[in-house]
Structures are given as structure tokens and as C-alpha cells.
A and B are shown apart, each in its own frame.
Chain A
Amino acid sequence: MTTSSGAAWIASPTLKKVAQGIKKKFNWGRALVISIPTIWLAIFFLVPFLVVFKISLSTTEIAQPPYSALFAWDAEEAIAVLRLNLGNYLFLFEDTLYIDAYWSSIKIAAISTALTLVIAYPMAYAIARSHPKYRMILLALVILPFWTSFLLRVYAWMGFLKKDGVINGFLLNVGIIDQPLAIMNTDTAVYIGIIYTYLPFMILPLYTALEKLDGTLLEAAADLGATAWKTFFFVTLPLSVPGIVAGCMLVFIPAVGEFVIPALLGGSDTLMIGRVLWDEFFLNRDWPMASAVAIVMLLFLVLPIMLFRNTQGTKGENF
């Protein structure tokens, strides 16, 4: 204690500990560094959701901006009046258009996620089991399309699927069909588009999970007499569950709100909630309604997003 100079109160070991604790806790440099990205994300990612929620409770007005204020000053009573309008939410459940759109978005997203998984799993498995020399090249080949423009890749499918497009031209020339197939502007085209654009997002986490798989476990299973398929279902598959969950969430969540794919490949009867929100905003200019649609969509996605967050480990290393 003699080394610490000065007043008696600082000589007290407890107080000294507290003082040190305070000094440690208020590492100003560190706090500043942490606060920069936190404040940016809070303002431009978190607060916007509150604004959306607020506006979803207001009424559409022909004004600039086109919605009513929640708080109004009542001059006669001299009090502030809070005007909440639940009408947008009520309308969401009254008009079957919205319920149908939510339901069909979730259905389309779920089915395409499952199909993507079925296509991606053997690919990820083949890459993970390939010779280490080729592994990086194969992985780069998976990632490369992901680096090229998403919009242009969807556009490429328009040329592929349309009535006088590449696929129909090929099948007609070979003679497999005598009438062009109507794939473009149907739900099938939307499925193909979603599977195609999100395939790399599924392969990467699956690959990460499968690459880490301990080869001796597979050998042990084989030694104990398990067939190749049995080994796969009882050893490989369960061990790759984290990769499956991460991959499925990476596909499912953005697919639910997808706009570009149904707008370009889907038909006029392809109902997806992302498109409904877009039309509500850009065509009807009904900002409060678009906000209510967004809030309900977010509620549907909270659970999958939490699930995704919990599987987040070392996913980013593959980009």
C-alpha cells in the first residue's frame, strides 16, 4: 500500500479496485472506436424500422410527404393529440390480396429453398471431397457468378426461358417438343430464378460445414459395417446441420421479400409480397400501407433471422 501515494482514501484496497475498475470501464479510445459503427448502424439501420412503424400507423394524404402526422396540436383544447390509425393493418387482413401474397411468398420461398438445398448439397459435398488442389478452383467457380451482376443474371434467364428463347429453340430443333413451352412469366420461371441466383449462398455454408467433417468418423462408420448411404444419413447429414440451417436462412429470408425475380420472370398472377410492397409504394403512392406491409413481413421474418444469427460462425471467410 505504501507505493500508492497521497490521500488515505485511495490507500483503501476496495476503493482502489473500484477506481481501477472505473478506469478500465471507461476506456475512452475503445468506446469511441466501438461507437463509430454502432452509431452509424443505429441511425441508418435500426431507427428506420421505427420510422416505418410510425408511418404504418398514419393515414395517407395527398401531400408532401404523403402521410398524416401522428401528433397534432389541438388549438382549442391546447393539448397534443395522438392520432393512431390501425386501418392499414385491419385492411391487410380484410383484403385477401395481402394474405394471399404473404402465403404465396412464403410458399415460393420455402419450396425454392428446399430445391436449392437438394441441388447444392451434392455440389458442396463433391467440392469438399475433391482433391485439395482443385478445391479452391471449384469454390472460386461457385463464387464467380455471385460476383457478376444479379440483375443481369436474371436477365440472362429471360433470354433462356422466353417463348422464342434458347431452351425452346433447342428443344424444338431437336424435336423433343413441337410446341414452345410456356415457362416465362409463370411461377416455374420464378422458382428457377430464385434457385439460380441463391445457389452460391447455399453452397458456401454447406461447404464450410462439410469441409470440417472429420474423415475418420466416416471410416469408423464404414468399418462398423454401415453402407455408404447409411453413413451419409446417420453421420454426414447430422453433422452438417449448422451449414444446412445457415444456407437455408440465407436463401429463404431474402427470397420471401424478393422483387426483381418475380417482376422480371414471373407472370401477372405471380403474387409475391415484395412486389405488392413495391406497387403499393411506387404505383399507389400509399406510403402508410407499404409500411404496414413491411412491418408484417418483418414479423414473419423475425424468427428465421434469429435462427440465422445463431448459426453465424465463420461464414464470411468464403467470400
Chain B
Amino acid sequence: MKKKSTFLMITATLGFAFLYAPIVSLVVYSFNASKLVTVWGGFSTKWYGELLDNDQILDAAFISLKIAVISATLAVVLGTIAGFCLSRFKRFRGRMALSGMVTAPLVMPEVITGLSLLLLFVAMEGLLGWPSGRGTLTVIIAHVTFCMAYVAVIVQSRLSSMDESLEEAAMDLGAKPGSLFFLVTLPLIMPAIVSGWLLSFTLSLDDLVIASFVSGPGNSTLPMVIFSKIRLGVSPEINALATLMIAAIALGVIATVFQMHRLKKNAV
């Protein structure tokens, strides 16, 4: 038994090293004065300065943030409704269809999703005249569609693992369906909704393939700009950008985890 647990320890340690080594090296080399990855030219923050002078990256970052906030918010609304329907309405017509359409986007290759949405937008424009052209709006619609699937799965699993007795008690006390949802169910699934929003925000901010298909000229998102830059090779500016993004996301996740931990402790 002892031998097996050392084996487990070693593989787990190696596994975590494998997960974190590239991220750590990215952060370390963003402070490297030298442009070469292998040569340590001393500590420097000059790449951060160059990053802040790069208007192309800053503009794209602004567009991406805007898209991510709007898409995450819409995805949370639609995804919560979908997750709620799937776990609280046991039987309804189209249940199979809805649960299928919620699961499939999770694994659908991005090239297929991107291509199919673009062709839909083009066909709709020809038929209805809307959406006219492609840009921020079409990217938002695309991101809402695949993010809401993630939110729905998170909310659904949270609801299924949750005790229904509180909702039943509220119903017995005469709560109308509307107030039941907003006053009882919604506060209970808030942690799932928060993590759904954060996940949608990250997924939207990170998406390259789908945005490349459905975005129009002059509306390049941050991943599109990053991709066109790193295709040509490693660039220290991107290292600096990556470090900033990793720091922001890590802080956000850690703050959320702490907050939830506190909420859980208070609840028990």
C-alpha cells in the first residue's frame, strides 16, 4: 500500500509540474530584459511599457472586454433559465431537444460552430437584412450561444444536488412561481451563477476560432491580435500581456473561492 501511495504522490507532483511549468516560465520571461527566451538579460519591466504603448493591443483588449461582459451577462440569464427548466420541470415537450442542445456545444469543435454561425448570419442578412454586416454584435451572439451551455450545465447540476424542500416549503406557504424563483431558488443557486458568469467571461475573452469566423473587419478581438502576432514567433510583449491576464484571472478566482468559502461557512 505504501509503495502505491508514493507512486501516486510522484505522478501527481509531476502532473502538477506539467500543468504549471509553462505558465510560470511565461511569467518569469515577461520580466526578462533580453528578447531571447534562453538568455536571462536581467530583470526589466520594459515589455510592460511597450505593451502599454501598443494601441492595437489596447483597442482589441477593450473590444474583447466589452464583448465578454455583455456575453457573460446574457449567457447567465439564458443559461440559468435553461438549467432551471431541465432540473425543475421534470417532463415537458422538447426536453430531449433542449438537453441535447445544451450538451452538444460543450464538445462541438470550434471550427464547426464558427463556420455554421457565420453562414447563418450571412443567410439571415440576405433573407431578413439583419444582422447587417458582422462585428461586435455577431461575436456577442456567438459567445452567448456557447457560454449559455456551460452556465446551464453548472446551474442544472447545482439545482439537482440541492434539496428541493426549501422550494416546496415556500410553495406550501403560498409563494407564486415568480416570487418563488426570485426569492428562494435564485439566492440558493447564486454561487453557481457567479461561477457561470466568470467562466463565460473567461471563455469569451479567450475565444479565437469562433470570433475569427463571425467578426467583421476592424473588430479584431484580443485573441485575434495575439494570434496574428504569435504566429510569427515568441514576442516578449505577449508574455507581459499574458502575465497581466493570468494575474487578473488568478486574483478573481481566488477572491471568488474565498467569498464562497465564507458564504458556505456562514450558511452551515
Nearest-neighbor residue (CB-CB) of B13 within chain A: A126
| Complex Cα gap A257–B253 (Å) | 29
B119 touches A287 (CB 8 A): yes
Q: What residues make up the interface of B, taking CB atoms closer than 8 Å to A?
A: 1, 4-5, 7-9, 11-12, 15-16, 18-23, 25-26, 29, 36-38, 78-79, 81-82, 84-85, 89, 92, 94, 97-112, 115-117, 119-120, 122-123, 126, 141-142, 144-145, 148, 150, 152-158, 160-161, 177, 195-196, 198-199, 202, 205-206, 208-209, 212-213, 223, 226-227, 230-231, 233-234, 238-239, 241-242, 245-246, 249-250, 253, 257
**Least Cβ distance of B229 to chain A in Å?**
9
Q: Is A51 in contact with chain B by the CB < 8 A criterion?
A: yes
A290 at the interface (CB under 8 A from B): yes
The reply on A145 being an interface residue by CB < 8 A is: yes
* Chain B neighbourhood of A294, CB < 8 A: 111-112, 115-116
CA distance A34 to B97 in the complex (A): 11
Contact A259 B110 (CB under 8 A): yes
Name the CB-closest residue of A to B152: A37
Q: Which residues of B contact A291 (CB under 8 A)?
A: 115, 119
Q: Are A312 and B19 in contact (CB under 8 A)?
A: no
A151 at the interface (CB under 8 A from B): yes
Q: Does A250 contact B (CB under 8 A)?
A: yes
CB-defined contacts of B212 to chain A, threshold 8 Å: 282
- CB A140 to nearest CB in B, in angstroms, measures 6
CB distance from A61 to the nearest CB of B (A): 13
25 A-B residue pairings within 8 Å (CB atoms): A31-B92, A33-B85, A34-B89, A34-B98, A36-B81, A38-B98, A51-B119, A52-B119, A65-B122, A122-B12, A129-B5, A148-B23, A151-B227, A155-B226, A156-B242, A160-B22, A166-B37, A254-B109, A254-B110, A274-B111, A277-B112, A294-B111, A297-B109, A301-B109, A316-B154
A298 touches B112 (CB 8 A): yes
Given contacts A44-B117, A294-B111, A319-B195, contact A123 B12 (CB under 8 A): yes
Q: Give the docked Cα–Cα distance between A95 and B25 (Å).
A: 43
Q: 12 extra interchain contacts, Cβ-Cβ under 8 A, other than A36-B81, A317-B157?
A: A37-B78, A41-B148, A49-B116, A51-B116, A52-B115, A52-B119, A145-B23, A155-B226, A260-B209, A297-B112, A315-B157, A316-B150
Determine whether the beta carbon of B126 is less than 8 Å from that of A65: yes
Q: Taking A254-B107, A305-B107 as contacts, is the C-beta distance between A281 and B213 under 8 angstroms?
A: yes
A149 an interface residue at 8 Å Cβ cutoff?
yes
| Residue-wise interface mask of A (31-66) relative to B, using a CB-CB cutoff of 8 A (1 in contact, 0 not) | 101101110111111111101100100000000010
The answer to whether A149 and B109 have CB atoms under 8 Å apart is no
A249 close to B22 (CB less than 8 A): no
Tell me which residues across on chain B come within 8 A of A160, comparing CB atoms. 21-22, 25
Q: Is A190 an interface residue (CB 8 A)?
A: no
A160 to chain B, nearest CB (A): 6
Most buried by A among B5, B126, B234: B234
Q: Is the CB of A164 within 8 A of B109?
A: no
